[in-house]
């Protein structure tokens, strides 16, 4: 890691301690969008971490990005969500966009002037991406888009939605999909043919909106077809490469939440007295702490391995899938044990464990359920160990 990366991690850690942790509980309880906090994230340059320097970003690697996500999630998991879909959009435009698209979008994305959402799922198509129905029909220099998209994180406040659509009927279906860069007015419920039709209420992951987006004859310039004419029919491949980054993000979030739950627990266990001594002195609690600490450490190593593979430019769906699977399950298990160690206090909203416990399941289903991860991992292992 470079000195710049280490300095930035220290800066983010301090930012988390001073700006995020003190307000997380209140904003989570109110399910309120922390506009002021997002502005401070822009001032720190966090929205441009991975954007190349020629476009105004810091040009840092995904290994550094993952470490930053871990630190932010340690304070409040929702905050890391503001970056995930944004950087998936940055990745797609930088990797597959035309030079004109990179010059038009990336400098403003680096400053946070434009924030991106990533749109793949639909009401009847989540893991089965080939079943999407949102269609874009070419009409001269525009595409006319109709359909409904689901589970858009940042879907209301985003100014740009990187959206997978059907542009042609093909067999197999994924060969007829493309990606459109759909511009809208961030914060507005309606913009031309785009309507934020509902905000989805969730168990956890509060303070950041997850919405359904409806498009009715929305006209998108053909210039916003990702990759230009060469990108027609390439959307599925593009989006799956972005999902690798999303799964690294999820694993980093899981590590951050699990580390917070573990550290809260090991501190509480040394302070809480029962039967004449701190509960940390009881073997039952020590065994729990031993397993929790081991899971956090192992999850971080898997996350770092996947990030390094992504940095190398190699395919990393196997490593990202393994990291996401293990880290998310470990996070859920660590949070459950943290609640047990805290006893009744773990169930009380005045302690952070209650929030961590509600946030943890998101990592199990986010960026592809863990059942899907097992399918991806199994398929890739059979490719690598083919007899």
What is the mean pLDDT of the segment spanning 308-334? 96
The proportion of the chain whose per-residue pLDDT surpasses 90, expressed as a percent, equals 96
Q: What is the rounded average pLDDT for all residues in the chain?
A: 96
Q: What is the pLDDT of residue 195?
A: 96
CATH architecture group of domain 3-111? Orthogonal Bundle (1.10)
In tens, the pLDDT along 236-275 reads 999 999 999 999 999 999 999 999 999 999 999 999 999 9
Please, what is the angle between helix 3-15 and helix 35-44, to 10°? 160
Task: Give the CATH number of domain 237-384.
Answer: 1.20.140.10
The proportion of the chain whose per-residue pLDDT surpasses 70, expressed as a percent, equals 99
Confidence of residue 4 (pLDDT cuts 50, 70, 90): low
C-alpha to C-alpha distance for 157 and 115, rounded to whole angstroms: 8
What is the value of pTM for the model shown?
0.96
Comparing 4 with 315, which gets the higher pLDDT? 315
- Count the Cβ atoms, other than its own, within 10 Å of residue 232: 18
Q: Is residue 292 a contact partner of residue 353, using CB atoms and an 8 Å limit? A: no
Beta bridge partners of 118: 162
Could you please state the CATH topology (level 3) that the domain comprising 116-233 is classified under.
Butyryl-CoA Dehydrogenase, subunit A; domain 2 (2.40.110)
In tens, the pLDDT along 188-237 reads 999 999 999 989 999 999 999 999 999 999 999 999 999 999 999 999 99
Confidence of residue 28 (pLDDT cuts 50, 70, 90): very high
In tens, the pLDDT along 40-58 reads 999 999 999 999 999 999 9
How are beta strands 142-153 and 210-221 bridged, if at all? antiparallel
What is the mean pLDDT of the segment spanning 161-186? 96
Q: What is the pLDDT of residue 296?
A: 98
Q: Which two tokens stand for residue 355?
A: 């929030």
Q: What is the pLDDT of residue 6?
A: 87
Beta-carbon contacts of residue 36 (< 8 Å; ≥ 6 apart): none
In tens, the pLDDT along 333-375 reads 999 999 999 999 999 999 999 999 999 999 999 999 999 999 9
Q: What is the pLDDT of residue 164?
A: 98
Q: What is the pLDDT of residue 125?
A: 87
In tens, the pLDDT along 56-84 reads 999 999 999 999 999 999 999 999 999 99
Query: Is residue 321 helix, strand or coil?
Result: helix
DSSP 315: -
C-alpha to C-alpha distance for 109 and 104, rounded to whole angstroms: 9
**Comparing C-alpha atoms, which of 106, 96, 95, 104 is closest to residue 51?**
106
C-alpha to C-alpha distance for 85 and 71, rounded to whole angstroms: 17
Q: Tell me: pLDDT of 177 over 70.
A: yes
In tens, the pLDDT along 104-162 reads 999 999 999 999 999 999 999 888 888 999 999 999 999 999 999 999 999 999 999 99
Q: What is the pLDDT of residue 248?
A: 97
Confidence of residue 1 (pLDDT cuts 50, 70, 90): low
List the catalytic residues. Answer: 367
Domain borders along the chain are 3-111, 116-233, 237-384
Q: Is residue 311 a contact partner of residue 303, using CB atoms and an 8 Å limit? A: no
């Amino acid at each position: 890691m470079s000195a710049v990366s280490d300095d930035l991690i220290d800066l983010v850690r301090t930012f988390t301690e001073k700006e995020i942790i003190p307000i997380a509980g209140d904003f989570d309880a109110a399910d309120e969008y922390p506009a002021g906090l997002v502005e401070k994230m822009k001032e720190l340059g966090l929205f441009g971490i991975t954007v190349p320097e020629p476009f105004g970003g810091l040009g840092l690697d995904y290994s550094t990005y993952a470490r930053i996500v871990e630190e932010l999630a340690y304070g409040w998991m929702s905050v890391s969500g503001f970056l995930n879909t944004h950087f998936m959009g940055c990745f797609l435009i930088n990797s597959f966009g035309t030079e004109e698209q990179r010059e038009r979008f990336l400098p403003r994305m680096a400053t946070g002037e434009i924030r991106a959402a990533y749109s793949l799922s639909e009401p009847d198509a989540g893991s089965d991406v080939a079943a999407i129905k949102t269609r874009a029909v070419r009409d001269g220099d525009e595409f006319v888009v109709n359909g409904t998209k689901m589970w858009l994180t940042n879907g209301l406040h985003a100014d740009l939605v990187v959206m997978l659509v059907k542009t042609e009927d093909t067999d197999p279906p994924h060969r007829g999909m493309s990606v459109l860069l759909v511009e809208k007015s961030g914060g507005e419920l309606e913009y031309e043919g785009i309507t934020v039709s509902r905000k989805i209420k969730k168990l956890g992951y509060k303070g950041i909106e997850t919405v359904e987006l409806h498009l009715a004859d929305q006209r998108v310039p053909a210039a916003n077809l990702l990759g230009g004419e060469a990108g027609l029919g390439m959307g599925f491949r593009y989006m799956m490469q972005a999902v690798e980054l999303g799964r690294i993000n999820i694993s980093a979030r899981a590590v951050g939440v699990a580390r917070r739950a573990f550290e809260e627990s090991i501190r509480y266990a040394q302070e809480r007295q029962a039967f004449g001594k701190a509960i940390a002195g009881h073997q039952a609690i020590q065994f729990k702490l031993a397993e929790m600490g081991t899971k956090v450490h192992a999850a971080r190593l898997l996350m770092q391995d996947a990030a390094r593979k992504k940095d190398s430019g190699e395919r990393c769906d196997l490593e990202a899938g393994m990291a996401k699977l293990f880290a998310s399950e470990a996070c859920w298990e660590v949070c459950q044990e943290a609640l047990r160690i805290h006893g009744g206090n773990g169930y009380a909203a005045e302690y952070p464990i209650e929030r961590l416990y509600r946030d943890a399941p998101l990592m199990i289903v986010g960026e592809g359920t863990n059942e899907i991860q097992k399918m991806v991992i199994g398929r890739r292992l059979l490719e690598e160990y083919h007899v």
